[in-house]
């Protein structure tokens, strides 16, 4: 694929590599939070967007007069995943981008959490992305320009994740899945995993408390604040674009520079002073 060509289009090459006109994008969990912002970003750039979630959004996912197509789906159910894929193909005859965004988990103590809870969390955060990737594989492989799968990973899968063992383990597995599928399905299909850090969404209060708590957590990051969904959506757009045409089988950290090592603050009370900044 050339840097300025759009997959699925016979039109003249375009000068804007972020122009998604002619592309069909599926965003799981696209009705709220980060998923909604990602879907809106692709709509802004001209893509035909299909979103799925268990419940229809209270307000349509739309921008500038363009609206995402909603399909009800529990991503833990393979038959329902197949329905989403079929709907997307019926609309445009192709699937260019899959964003495996649906996921998450409430805090749960590792010593007492039930096996059933753990099964549900792993099913949502690891098995569902794998099944969705399988569901789009054949269509992407038949397309001249192939396709891109973007798996939304998490820093919780790259470090200890207290009160979230199943979630952290699932996200770690998602990173390995990304590397494995890129090897098996390339060169037609690129697979990339943005590793998302702490961002402010509707559910941020469950983990970080009120505005003061969110600000305090943000100060532990190199860039001094927590992120916002729009900053993740920009990276996802890049991953799906021709600008990332030689990027596959890898993670892209999107975490504000990462968390300061705890031992520095414990020893001096000042991270920058301890680091010699």
**Residues annotated as part of the active site:** 167
CB 192 within 8 A of CB 178: yes
Single out the residue of 1, 22, 25, 24 nearest to residue 10, CA to CA.
22
Beta strand pairing status for 189-196 and 250-254? Answer: parallel
The tokens of 183 are what? 């090897």
Instruction: Tell me how far apart the alpha carbons of residues 181 and 210 are, in angstroms, rounded to a whole number.
Output: 39
The tokens of 197 are what? 């850090």
Instruction: Tell me how far apart the alpha carbons of residues 225 and 217 are, in angstroms, rounded to a whole number.
Output: 7
DSSP state letters, 13-24 = PPS-TT--TT-E
Question: How would you classify residue 167: left for phi > 0, otherwise alpha for psi between -120 and 50, otherwise beta?
Answer: alpha
The tokens of 231 are what? 């900053």
Instruction: Tell me how far apart the alpha carbons of residues 17 and 3 are, in angstroms, rounded to a whole number.
Output: 6
The total of other beta-carbon atoms located within 10 Å of residue 276's CB is: 5
CA end-to-end distance (rounded Å), the chain = 44
């Amino acid at each position: 694929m050339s840097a300025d060509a759009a997959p699925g289009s016979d039109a003249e090459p375009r000068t804007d590599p972020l122009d998604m006109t002619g592309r069909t994008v599926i965003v799981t969990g696209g009705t709220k939070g980060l998923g909604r912002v990602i879907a809106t970003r692709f709509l802004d750039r001209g893509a035909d967007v299909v979103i799925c979630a268990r419940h229809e959004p209270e307000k349509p996912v739309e921008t500038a007069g363009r609206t995402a197509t909603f399909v009800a789906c529990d991503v833990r159910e393979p038959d329902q995943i197949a329905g989403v894929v079929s709907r997307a193909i019926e609309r445009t005859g192709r699937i260019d981008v899959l964003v495996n965004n649906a996921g998450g988990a409430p805090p749960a103590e590792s010593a007492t959490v039930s096996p059933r809870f753990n099964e549900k969390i792993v099913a949502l955060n690891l098995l569902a992305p794998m099944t969705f990737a399988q569901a789009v594989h054949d269509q992407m492989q038949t397309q001249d320009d192939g396709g891109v799968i973007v798996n939304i990973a998490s820093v919780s899968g790259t470090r200890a994740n207290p009160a979230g063992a199943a979630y952290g383990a699932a996200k770690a597995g998602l990173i390995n899945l990304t590397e494995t599928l890129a090897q098996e399905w390339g060169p037609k299909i690129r697979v990339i995993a943005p590793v998302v850090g702490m961002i402010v969404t509707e559910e941020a209060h469950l983990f970080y408390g009120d505005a003061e708590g969110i600000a305090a957590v943000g100060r532990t990051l190199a860039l001094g604040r927590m992120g916002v969904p729009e900053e993740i959506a920009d990276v996802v757009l890049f991953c799906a674009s021709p600008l990332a045409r030689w990027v596959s089988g890898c993670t892209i950290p999107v975490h504000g520079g990462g968390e300061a090592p705890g031992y520095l603050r414990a020893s001096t009370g000042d991270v920058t002073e301890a680091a010699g900044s």
